[in-house]
């Protein structure tokens, strides 16, 4: 596994210098959607969750740079200009190199067309970088001789070519993501939108599973039918400026599972009950009871993702004696039953971990 070399010195310049870097290889035969899509997701890791939930951007955990044969504008598929900030020769050491799709008819000879890029990938891998590919980008790894004896995947239209022209490669066309090579330093995603899985996997390796899960949830990746409701409410729980209400927020964050939590907050605030409820809703946009339910639901989701505990035990843990009542509240808030939520999100967390 890759190690995260970020500094904890508190010096912003030092921290920036130590943030893992991912270089994206750009060439005319690729697509802007994959390049820019992966850049957007990876650059958001750590930063955007804090922005949505707390109203303040978190630290950017990963840095991205675009690299091409020569620095400057590269016109890729569909005549979209992509600006590469540096040339292959000038690219500094990076932890990961990403290669997106090769948008050419399957079977097109690649060795001469991509000779500089193939040589550069070989050099970077020898220097210790992880090479990650989306879609048919894996064909450049095969041309570089990096897949010999390894399992591999690529776009379904190129799988037959990969197996035929590189008989030492163990093609796994049915798999969306394959990790191979010494130290797992060859990472390949299949066709279509599996570059989303690749981006999340790289975030998990470099910045941690929690950062990847946050990016997945913010962008509704792979679970579009769940809608945005499971995550939208969390953004409303950020700390407020009303000092008495903020004090209650701090307390309830640690005591949400206790019985009669609203009454306890009223007592803590020193306000009349009616005044407290009015000011709480004015400050947070939620009634005190809805706020408690939201905190409980968020903790329940975390437990569903990370443990095998029965739903009934989770209900008790977060403050509900009646598991059926908890189930109804959860489904109303998340638009999924607790079991459905666990099946969707626990699998993702296990894969990333």
How far apart are the C-alpha atoms of 78 and 270, rounded to whole Å?
64
- Topology of domain 12-222 in CATH is Rossmann fold (3.40.50)
Query: Nearest CA to 144 among 111, 108, 185?
Result: 111
Considering the entire predicted model, what is its pTM?
Answer: 0.70
Residues of CATH 3.40.50.880 domain(s) within the chain?
Answer: 12-222
Q: Does domain 229-352 have CATH number 1.10.10.60?
A: yes
d(CA 37, CA 248): 40
Nearest alpha carbon to residue 176 among 144, 205, 134, 137? 134
Which residue spans of the chain are classified as CATH 1.10.10.60?
Answer: 229-352
∠ CA 218-347-327, nearest 5°, is 75
Taking only the tens of pLDDT, the chain with its 353 residues reads 343 333 333 333 344 556 889 999 999 999 999 999 999 999 999 999 988 888 899 999 999 999 999 999 999 999 999 999 999 999 999 999 999 999 999 899 999 999 999 999 999 999 999 999 999 999 999 999 999 999 999 988 898 899 999 999 999 887 788 889 888 899 999 877 888 888 988 998 899 888 888 998 888 776 433 444 444 445 445 556 788 998 898 899 889 999 999 999 999 999 999 999 999 998 888 899 999 998 899 889 888 988 889 999 999 999 999 999 999 999 988 888 999 888 877 776 766 66
Q: Are 116 and 83 in contact (CB under 8 A)?
A: no
Query: Distance between terminal CA atoms of the chain?
Result: 10
């Amino acid at each position: 596994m890759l190690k995260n070399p970020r500094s904890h010195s508190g010096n912003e310049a030092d921290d920036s210098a130590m943030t893992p870097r991912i270089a994206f290889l750009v060439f005319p035969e690729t697509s802007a959607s994959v390049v820019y899509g992966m850049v957007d997701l990876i650059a958001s890791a750590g930063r955007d969750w804090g922005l949505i939930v707390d109203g303040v951007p978190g630290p950017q955990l990963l840095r991205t740079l675009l690299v091409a044969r020569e620095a400057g504008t590269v016109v890729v598929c569909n005549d979209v200009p992509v600006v590469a900030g540096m040339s292959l020769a000038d690219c500094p050491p990076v932890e990961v190199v990403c290669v997106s799709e090769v948008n050419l008819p399957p079977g097109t000879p690649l060795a001469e067309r991509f000779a500089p890029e193939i040589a550069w990938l070989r050099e970077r891998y020898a220097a210790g970088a992880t090479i990650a590919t989306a879609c048919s980008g894996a064909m450049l790894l095969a041309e570089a001789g990096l897949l010999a004896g390894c399992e591999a995947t690529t776009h379904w239209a190129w799988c037959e070519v990969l197996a035929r022209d590189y008989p030492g490669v163990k093609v796994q066309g049915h798999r969306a993501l394959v990790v191979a090579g010494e130290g797992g330093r060859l990472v390949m995603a299949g066709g279509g939108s599996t570059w989303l899985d690749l981006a999340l996997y790289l975030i998990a390796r470099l910045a941690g599973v929690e950062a990847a899960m946050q990016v997945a949830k913010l962008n509704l990746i792979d679970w579009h039918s769940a809608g945005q409701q499971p995550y939208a409410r969390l953004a409303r729980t950020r700390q407020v400026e009303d000092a008495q209400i903020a004090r209650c927020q701090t307390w309830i964050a640690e005591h949400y599972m206790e019985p009669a939590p609203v009454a306890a907050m009223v007592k803590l605030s020193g306000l009349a009950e009616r005044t407290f409820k009015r000011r709480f809703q004015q400050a947070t946009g939620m009634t005190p009871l809805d706020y408690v339910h939201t905190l409980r639901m968020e903790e329940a989701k975390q437990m569903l993702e990370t443990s095998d505990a029965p739903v009934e035990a989770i209900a008790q843990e977060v403050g509900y004696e009646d598991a059926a009542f908890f189930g109804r509240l959860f489904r109303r808030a998340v638009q999924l039953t607790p079991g459905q939520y666990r099946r969707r999100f626990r699998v993702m967390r296990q894969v990333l971990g």
